[in-house]
Structure 1
Amino acid sequence: MTKQIEKPGAPFVGGRVRRTSQRRVTMTDVAREAGCSQATVSFVLNQSPGIKLSAQTRDRVYDAARRLGYAAPVARLQVASPSERRQIGFLVDQMSASPEAAVAIDGAGVAARANGDLLMVSQTFNDPATEAELVRAFVGQGVSALVYMSIFTREIELSAELLDLDIPVFLLNCYTTGQSHPAVVPSEIAGGQRSTRYVIDQGHRRIATITGEIWMEAAQDRLKGYRRALATADIPFDPALVVEGDWSASAGYAATRQLLDLPNRPTAIFCQNDRMAIGCYEALKEAGLDIPRDMSVIGYDDEEISRHMHPALTTSILPHRAMGQWIIEQIEEMADHPGGRYPITKLECPLVERASVAAPKG
């Protein structure tokens, strides 16, 4: 089977990265093409004052942007006056717990900038009093909509301050009972199923999985997807092949050691995030096993480190940037249709094929 290997800025369609379809080029794509950080790209393309960058770096960024066809969303900002620019508040419960918050904020910020809007961001620290004060502050600033994000995908109960607002409230990575507010979350069951199915398609039938903390919806749903893929392929579920982790590299290492001690070892391991895959790699290499010749490994999240592991890790993209963009795109449309119920929007977690999965030996 011929693999579609990831290329910088390659679009993804149907759950896998492809080179033949079109999607909007982002600053992240330009950064990869230019070999620099996204912050550097932002400074260059926005012509930020006071930032000392070499002419070579600036030329490299401009050349990469031209090659990829990146259109910096600045024209509308230059036309709109401050009084014409819509203000959008963005509340997140925690920013430092994981990179997903920054990625979602970046996606929302790029979309807001393209619309000529201002995005104002703050975190609540999971403190109700702080949240209430921030809501009042945003309303005082005249925001026309408010986005609420949780780090962990979960059902939430909105505070009285949020429920009493007369402006639209949008939920990112969370949802409410009764679907009273527009919400967008990752399609985790489908993502877990697609990841497992990909390994099955390579010929594996004894596939282990290392889950995250099972009280979290993401871990539960990725496990459901794993089980669905096995069932549709008529592969019996073996509880011994499911080991609970805690999303850390150490958990991936310990769980892999446990799986290697089984009398009948798996031939592939689905690590339900990339950090556990790092520990999995270490345990396999310590045991003298080659990846993917002796053991295939697949991750989840597509963190930056996954591109630089040896071999590069096949994984899935968490769509937080796309979720942030979706929220901004829906604000104007849904503001005209307040009330009622809003089906939860689920964005797919595209699979990125790299080099850590192969057919089983023999």
Structure 2
Amino acid sequence: MTSKPTMMDVATRAGVSQATVSLVLNGSPGTRFSDATRAKVHQAAEELGYRLVRRAQSPAPAETKVIAFIADELTADPWMALAFEGAREKALAQGVSVTLAISRGGDMPDETVFNQFMQGPLLGFIYGTILTREVEPPAPLFQVPSVLLNCYDRKRRLPSVLPGDLEGGRAATERLIRAGRRRIAIINGQDGLDASRDRLRGYRQALASNDMSFDPELVEWGNWEPQAGYDGTRRFLSLKQPPDAIFCANDLMAVGCYEALKEAGLRIPQDMAVIGFDNREIAQFMRPPLTTLVLPHYDIGEAATELLFDLAGRLQPRHDQIKVECQLLERGSVEVQDDGAAGATEAGSRIAG
């Protein structure tokens, strides 16, 4: 490899998720992995020459400040843990520690939580939310350098770092179009959430850019769980003109989608192409392995820390909101059809029958 290996490179070689690599290499307490999984991760890291930053490259002075990383949730999904690891590794490279605090209940914590950190040698705050959403920042975040992670202030008084959900939705849909699919459905997340809204917007933009009409019948609203993917797929298959591809707005709904397609005797991707979103660990073990997009929370954590260092150094950020690209991971659930649109029509006829 000509460039410096990343944690994602280690995850790909070891055949595990980026979260697993982070937890194994950090020796995080309370995690349960088999000896075989741990060995695969360490072997992949060794082969690639990947080295996890565990301490500053030079001794940090006694007055070095710390970053307070405050999140509204850590255990429900791996995303915030990944964001914290990205922030921690980036900060450690500069000799700065990161302290983690969890705000229970999903609401913005009381100002006293922030004020407690301000009594010590604080460099600044990173405040993150498990769901991409608007927040109302409390007063302490305006008193020291602060960055919002996976959330934003509508007035843009504070800089924020978010996943590129709109571009990700567009990339997923365009990948299906390049595969020759012409009737593409989407099983989306819950209505009203930012991620659902933006992934649907990206889907619609891709259709419009390729002169394909938007059909409301091909939109199913779910709840991010496998059952929603199963139920949505069954409804699509009952249509007079069923789709020839399904974009699932997260990988868990793709699990349910796979099950419904297999019950119907349909092959993936020959009869129905499927693409997911998030790159959960299960995606690579589905059969066929699921083509999906990475939810880049590790990179978001790194970017938030870089922004915070700029603010602490009195450098004005070039952008008050950064969108981090969701990388497309090609696996086996989408293929290019040799006969183009004709193949798509034939697959649709088979499904209808």
TM-score range, shorter chain: 0.7 to 0.9
Counterparts of residues 93-104 of structure 1 (less than 5 Å):
93-104=72-83
Change (3 A) 1:61 1:203: closer
Q: Indicate whether 1:69 and 2:53 are aligned.
A: no
Q: Determine which of 229, 235, 247 is the counterpart of 1:258.
A: 235
Query: 1-side partners of 2:163 and 2:268: how far apart?
Result: 29
Q: Indicate whether 1:40 and 2:24 are aligned.
A: yes
**1:185: Cα distance to partner?**
0.4
With normalisation by structure 1, the TM-score equals 0.83
Counterparts of residues 175-324 of structure 1 (less than 5 Å):
175-324=152-301
**1:61: Cα distance to partner?**
6.0
CA contact (8 A) 1:181 1:342 kept: no
- What SS is found at the alignment partner of 1:141? coil
Change (3 A) 1:357 1:60: closer
CA contact (8 A) 2:230 2:256 kept: yes
Q: Deviations over 1:254-292 (max 9, x none)?
A: 111110110111000000000000000011111111111
Counterparts of residues 339-350 of structure 1 (less than 5 Å):
342-350=319-327
**1:161: Cα distance to partner?**
3.4
> Percent of aligned positions with the same letter in both sequences?
40
- What SS is found at the alignment partner of 1:103? helix
Query: 2-side partners of 1:129 and 1:355: how far apart?
Result: 41
Change (3 A) 1:171 1:312: same
Show the counterpart of 1:3: none
**1:154: Cα distance to partner?**
1.5
Show the counterpart of 1:117: 96
Query: 1-side partners of 2:283 and 2:186: how far apart?
Result: 18
Partner amino acid for 2:52? Answer: A
- What SS is found at the alignment partner of 1:140? coil
Query: 1-side partners of 2:278 and 2:11: how far apart?
Result: 19
Residue segments in structure 1 that go unaligned for 5+ positions in a row: 1-19
**1:341: Cα distance to partner?**
9.0
Q: 300-309 or 332-341: which moved more?
A: 332-341
- What SS is found at the alignment partner of 2:148? strand
- RMSD over aligned CA atoms reads 2.7
Show the counterpart of 1:88: 67
Show the counterpart of 2:120: 141
Query: 2-side partners of 1:57 and 1:205: how far apart?
Result: 40
Q: Deviations over 1:221-277 (max 9, x none)?
A: 100000010001111111000011111101111111110110111000000000000
Change (3 A) 1:305 1:340: closer
- What SS is found at the alignment partner of 2:77? coil
**1:136: Cα distance to partner?**
1.7
Q: 131-140 or 292-301: which moved more?
A: 131-140
Q: Indicate whether 1:169 and 2:146 are aligned.
A: yes
**1:96: Cα distance to partner?**
2.5
**1:174: Cα distance to partner?**
1.0
Q: Deviations over 1:191-215 (max 9, x none)?
A: 1011000100111110000010120
Query: 1-side partners of 2:299 and 2:237: how far apart?
Result: 37
With normalisation by structure 2, the TM-score equals 0.85
Residue segments in structure 2 that go unaligned for 5+ positions in a row: 338-342, 347-353
Q: Deviations over 1:165-194 (max 9, x none)?
A: 2x1011101111221111110111111011
Query: 1-side partners of 2:317 and 2:14: how far apart?
Result: 46
Show the counterpart of 1:150: 129
Show the counterpart of 1:11: none
